Amino acid sequence: MYTTETLQDLHTRGHNTLQKLLEHCDKFNSEELNREFEGFGYPNILQQFHHTIGAEEYWIGVVEGLMKVDDNASDFTTIESLKNYREQVFTTTENYLKNASTEELNTERKMITWGNNERNLIPARVFLRTFTHIYQHQGQIVTLCRLLGRPISGTDFPIL
């Protein structure tokens, strides 16, 4: 059984490390942020951040009965724009978690996903997917930072 408080704690911790990584990358120039590397689904830092944040927006939209797929990567060409996007999505998710009951979070129900597919999903697990997704892509962004000669540490899940 997942509680609102636990999910909010995970959400805050995940976004704190995402914000730390955005701050680190804010020192990069445009060429570094846009340099493409083979072997990554999203080949540069800006696209990685956009995908990470956009996926949370999409999935929380699904939970809320909305299809949020209208954002455009070309609208997010700076770290500052991605910081603002992250803050907006954080607030949306936080508001959902704050207002959802424990019963709602843990009860399977029909949701509509991309392509008008109807699926039976549990809201808390949908949230947890967005949470783990942040760390998956943070790992890729940290690797891109390393490849650019600008390593960062301290982006693991904070245990304190």
The kind and range of the H/E element at 110 are: strand 109-113
Query: Residue 87 has which token pair?
Result: 């803050």
Span 45-61, pLDDT tens digits: 999 999 999 999 999 99
Which of the four pLDDT bands, split at 50, 70 and 90, describes residue 119? very high
CATH (residue range 4-147): 1.20.120.450
Cβ-based neighbours of 100, under 8 Å, separated by 6 or more = 4, 123
Question: What is the residue extent of each domain of the chain?
Answer: 4-147
What pLDDT was estimated at residue 68? 83
Global confidence as pTM: 0.94
Q: Tokens 């979070």 map to which residue? A: 105
> What letter does residue 38 receive in the DSSP assignment?
T
Give, in order, the Cα–Cα distances in Å from 112 to each of 103, 109, 129.
20, 10, 16
Alpha helix positions (H), the chain: 4-25, 30-34, 45-63, 79-99, 102-106, 123-147
